[in-house]
Every structure is written in structure tokens, then in C-alpha cells.
Structure 1
Amino acid sequence: MKLNFDSFIIALLCFIIIAYFFPQGYLWQDGQILEWITSVGVSLIFFFYGLKLSFQQLKTGLSNWKLHLLVQGATFVLFPLLVLPFYPLMQSELQHDFWLSFFFLAALPSTVSSSVVMVSIARGNIPAAIFNASISGLIGVVITPLWMQFFLSFEEVDVVGDVYWGLIKEIIIPVIAGLVLQPYFGKWASTYNRQLGIFDKSIILLIVYSSFAESFVSGVFESTGKLYLLWIFVGVVVVFLLLYGMIYLLSKYVFKFNREDQITALFCGSKKSLTHGSVFGKFLFAHSPSAGLYFLPLMIFHAFQILIVTVIAQRYHNKDAS
């Protein structure tokens, strides 16, 4: 079974369709069975992630602090600030949900594997890419809920007890455990990296199914239409191009990075993690009937960034080869 990026995007669409026609899996035992499976699965994802981290590669990439500052600043500050000014323009509840879904996307950490792969294809600074992609998810455990709590109503959710402790329990502790055991099982994790990748994506698919099944059962999508989806797609394209363009200008004319560091800044700073988004959303949007709406921009952004950045990475590669 080969579950690459293209087939994973197709699988996401299929699971949304399954959630629409067969939401019974989410409703079974009031969702407790599926919640338990995804919780254990998420912990294993980040445990394996810790096993695959290399201390030497992280140490090698640590010194380039200007590059790290730009990547993390673009990820957690610049992107949210692009979306934030539109908040006062949102009047209706549906418009607020539309804006909140984009702000959730903007507040998420960068993706890990695809960033490093794209930087490698384009012949950028790979150690720095590994460093930034690795620490971004850990920083996001603190920063993403911090951004979201200003605009989310946590009436039924304890931010410290449910959100932060849930993220620490399912992300930070498993990563630390993986790092501790990395000298013993790191080679095994590298050998079975493809199989572990399939496991990661399977858990994400279950989280997406659960969120959309809840939204379909609650009827939240009945208030939206084709125009809503069109605006989401347009919004995703606009914010990606704006962010990518700003990082390009900053890396080339302000920080004056060399070619390798420019590539790393562009590819790591402009991407968002569907894995972390699925996990964070599980806690931030607990019991929210609009959870499916909040995931839409993230999934479209995930597909769009892979398509566009793959083309750009290949052009960098061909230009360098020539």
C-alpha cells in the first residue's frame, strides 16, 4: 500500500464523503471509541516522530539564528497578522466561522516531512530545514492555543486542563519519550519510515472523519453553499501567495540570505501542518458542531501548498542543475 501525497488528498475527500453518508462510526458509543483510538494514535505518531529526530542534525542547524527567526516569525506571527485585520469585517455567525477557520490555519505550525523533502529537491539548507520543521510543532503547542483563545469561546473547555494538558500529554511527552529511546530504536524508525507515514495519515483520516461526521450530524453545512467553498479556495490561494511573496522579499532583500537559506525560508515558512492541525483542532474545537468548517481551509491549503511548492522546488532544482 503506497499512500503518497496525491493519494492522501484523494483519501481525505473520500473520508469526508464517508462521514456524510455514514456518520454512525462517530456516533457509536457517543464517539468515545473513536476518540480513544485517535488519542492513542496521535501519541504514537509523535512518539515515532521523536524516534526519527536526529540530535546531530538539530545541532548542525542550530547556529543559523536569523533563518530560524524568519521561518518561525513567518509561521506564528506574519501569517496570523495577515488574517487578523479582517476580523472586524465579519458580521454574521457564518462569516465569523469563515474567518476563524483561516485564523486557525494561520496560527498552526509548519509541516515536517514535506518541508524537508521540498528543500532537499530544491537543494536548499537541509539541516536548517530539519531544525525548523522539528521545533515548529513544539512551539505550536504553546503559540497556537494562545492565539486561538482570543477568538474562541471556551465555555465547555478548560484551556489549561483540557487543551494545554491534552497537547502536552499527546505530543510533548511522546516526543520526549521518543527522543530518549532514539539511540535504541531510531534505526528501526528510519527503516520503517514509509510504513509509519501510512500510520500517521490513517490517524489523520480518522480525525477528519470524526470532525466532519459531527458537523454533518449537527447540520452546520446546511447554512453554507458552493459560494462558501469558492471563497475558501480563493482565500487559501491569496494568503499563500501573499505569505510566500513576503517571505521571498524578506529573505532576499532584508536578511540577504544566500540561495540555500532563501529556499529553506520559503518552503518552511509558508507551509502548514495538517498533522498538527488535526490534533490541535481535536482539543480546540472539542464538542463544536462547526469543527468540519474549521478544517476546510487547512485541507485545501495542504493540497495547494504541495502542488505549488513541488513545482517551485523542481524549478529550483533544474535551475541549479543547469
Structure 2
Amino acid sequence: MNIIKKEWFLFAMVAAIGLAVLMPDIGKTGGWLQLGWLTSIGIALIFFLHGIGLSSQKIKQGLSNWRLHVLIQVTTFVIYPLIWVIAGQGMLALLPSALAIGFCYLFALPSTISSSVAMTSIGKGNVPGAIFNASLSSILGIILTPLLVGLFTDVQGAQMEMTATIVSVAKLLLLPMVIGQLCRPLLAALLERYKSITNKVDKWVILMIVLNAFSDSVAEHIWVGFSVYLLLSCVAICLVVLLAIAYFLQFSCKKLQFNHEDEVAAVFCGTKKTLAAGIPMAKVIFGANPNLGMILLPIMLYHPIQLFYCAMLANRYAARATTAATAVAAK
């Protein structure tokens, strides 16, 4: 029971997928719950709350360390997309096109905010630097993610009119975030008081989007022929990519002679891909595409894998920092 209580969100996502498989009419677009317009309102609310929670003071604290910022943002928006440039044609040949596009979308996503900062803190890393880079990544992603997906996807059903898509994403995501930031002086204290409630808003909206996306795909018979082997292949791809990026960042940090704090921030901000912003953004970019459930599968698999791996890595970094501090104190 403790595991279910602690990881309720992951269990709820599995339950939403199960409900979509068994009763797609409940969650499909135009179905009983009318999730089509509810999710749009929820997405705007998520980014409005993100705007209120964005502390300009903490971001300013991390501004000066430009080498850290360049490494994280280049990894997020150049190195990850390069994986698609190198392996994309192979994925399109081996995987269903919607699933391959899902990996393209995963590689183009920005970093997370909450878990990147939390893991950096656990690993005794540069928290202001992590806050700055995770926040910057989220803002850049509103423009760069649809731009990269538009540049890389020329498969039928995945083509997008880039200008229109970026404008749509900006209106639904960036505009509420800007309004939230403007309202921060008035609402920040209220948001902090009800943090236990507001922190769950994004999760409930994501659950609605997952239910809607998978209900649509089941209703359109998208999953016919999808095998366990294919699912395991997706898990393997996610794991290999995560380990490769983590190794690349650790190697780069050593070459750049980063201290422990900056290495921790670089690894946890650079390896992460956001589920919280990624699923709502996919809803905007791909619209009512019946393949959306399959497009979302890679980020839904990558999310728990990255959390599990980064939690182990954070504890390892924390132990290393404690050992170093003890050695210095003993001198």
C-alpha cells in the first residue's frame, strides 16, 4: 500500500490506459467525459501555475555560470535531436511510424523542472544552476520542440505547418506562463499555501490527456498488432539513450573540469525529458491525431526509467560528496 501511495501517479497512468482499452467511449474525443475541451483548459492552467511558481530571484542566482548553461542546453536541444538524425531512418524502418515519431518527439522535448532540481539537491549539486537551466529549457522548448519536430518529421500524418504550430503552442503554453509570471507578486503566497493541492493539478491534467489519447487510439484500432516484443524494444531504446546521454555528460564535465556541484546539475538537467510539459505540448502539436497514444508511449516509458536511474545516481553523488567532505574535515 505504501508503494501505491507513493507512486500513485504511475499506477494512475496505467489505470487510465486500462480504462481506455476496456471502455474507449468514456475518454475519447467527443465521448462521455468531453475531454477534448477539458484538457485544453487544463493545459493552460498548468502553465499558468508554472508561471506563478517561476522565481526570477533564483533564476538570477544561476545566471553567471555560462559553461554549465551551454552544456545543458546543447545536450537538450542539439545532442538529443542528433540521435534522431543518426538513427531516425532506422527507427522508421523498424517501428510503426507513429511510434518512431514518438521517439523523435521525446528527443526534442525540454528538461523537467521539479525532478531535475530535486535530484540535484539530493546529489548535493548546484541547485540555483539547476533551477535556471530547467526553467530556461522549459521556456525554450515551447518554441524549439515544435520547430525540431516539424523539421524532422516528414511522415504522412506527422507533417505540421511550423509557424501555425509554434503560434498555437505559444498561445496555449507561453501566454498563460507569462500571465502567471505577471500575477506572481499577487498569487505566489497563495500558491505556496495550497502547494499540496496545486502540485497535483498537472498530474490530473496529464491523466486526462493520457485517457483521451489512448481512448482515441483504441477507438481507431491503432494498437492492432502491437506486440510485447515491440514494447520491450521501446524500453531498451529508452534505457540505451538515457545511459549514453548520462555518460556523455559525465565525460564532458570531466573534460571541462567542472566541480562536483556543476557536474550534478549538468547530469540531472541534461538527461531529463519532461512528461509534465511533454504530454500537454503533444496534445497541442499533434492535435486530435488518433495516433497520439502511440506517439506519447516513448515519453511515458522514458519518464519512470529516468526517475529510477537518476534516483540511484543522486544517492551515489550524495555519498561521494559526503566522503569528500569527511576527508577534508579529517585533514
Alignment TM class, shorter chain as reference: over 0.9
Unaligned runs of 5+ in 1: none
Give the match for residue 279 of structure 1.
Answer: 280
1:209-288 matched pairs, under 5 angstroms: 209-253=211-255, 255-288=256-289
Give the match for residue 36 of structure 1.
Answer: 37
Code of the residue aligned with 1:107 in structure 2: it is A
CA drift at 1:37: 1.0
Q: For 2:34, what is the secondary structure of its paired residue?
A: helix
Give the match for residue 116 of structure 1.
Answer: 117
Give the match for residue 23 of structure 1.
Answer: 24
Q: For 2:120, what is the secondary structure of its paired residue?
A: helix
Give the match for residue 185 of structure 2.
Answer: 183
Unaligned runs of 5+ in 2: 324-331
Q: For 2:106, what is the secondary structure of its paired residue?
A: helix
CA drift at 1:167: 1.4
CA drift at 1:192: 2.0
Residues 31 and 258 (structure 1), Cα distance of their counterparts in 2 relative to 1, 3 Å cut? farther
Code of the residue aligned with 1:308 in structure 2: it is Y
CA drift at 1:5: 6.5
Normalised to the residue count of structure 2, the TM-score between the two structures is 0.90
Q: Contact conserved, 1:86 with 1:99, CA < 8 A, in 2?
A: no
Code of the residue aligned with 1:168 in structure 2: it is A
Give the match for residue 100 of structure 1.
Answer: 101
Query: Once structures 1 and 2 are overlaid, which stretch shifts more, 300-309 or 184-193?
Result: 184-193
Q: Contact conserved, 2:147 with 2:162, CA < 8 A, in 1?
A: no
CA distance in 2, matches of 1:171, 1:128: 24
Q: For 2:200, what is the secondary structure of its paired residue?
A: helix
2:208 is aligned with 1:206: yes
Q: Deviations over 1:229-288 (max 9, x none)?
A: 0100100100000011101111111x2211100000000000000012101210222232
Q: Contact conserved, 1:123 with 1:316, CA < 8 A, in 2?
A: yes
Q: Contact conserved, 1:61 with 1:131, CA < 8 A, in 2?
A: yes
Q: CA-atom RMSD, angstroms?
A: 2.1
Q: For 2:73, what is the secondary structure of its paired residue?
A: helix
Residues matched between the structures, number: 319
1:162-181 matched pairs, under 5 angstroms: 163-181=165-183
CA drift at 1:127: 0.5
Q: Contact conserved, 2:217 with 2:291, CA < 8 A, in 1?
A: yes
Give the match for residue 160 of structure 1.
Answer: 163
CA drift at 1:158: 4.4
2:80 is aligned with 1:79: yes
Normalised to the residue count of structure 1, the TM-score between the two structures is 0.93
CA distance in 2, matches of 1:276, 1:71: 18
Q: Contact conserved, 2:120 with 2:264, CA < 8 A, in 1?
A: yes
Q: Contact conserved, 1:84 with 1:103, CA < 8 A, in 2?
A: no
Residues 305 and 27 (structure 1), Cα distance of their counterparts in 2 relative to 1, 3 Å cut? closer
Q: For 1:130, what is the secondary structure of its paired residue?
A: helix
Residues 78 and 156 (structure 1), Cα distance of their counterparts in 2 relative to 1, 3 Å cut? closer
Residues 233 and 156 (structure 1), Cα distance of their counterparts in 2 relative to 1, 3 Å cut? closer
Which 4+ residue blocks in structure 1 deviate beyond 6 angstroms?
2-5
Q: For 1:213, what is the secondary structure of its paired residue?
A: helix
CA distance in 2, matches of 1:98, 1:170: 25
Code of the residue aligned with 1:320 in structure 2: it is A
CA distance in 1, matches of 2:32, 2:143: 27
Give the match for residue 297 of structure 1.
Answer: 298
CA distance in 2, matches of 1:306, 1:193: 22
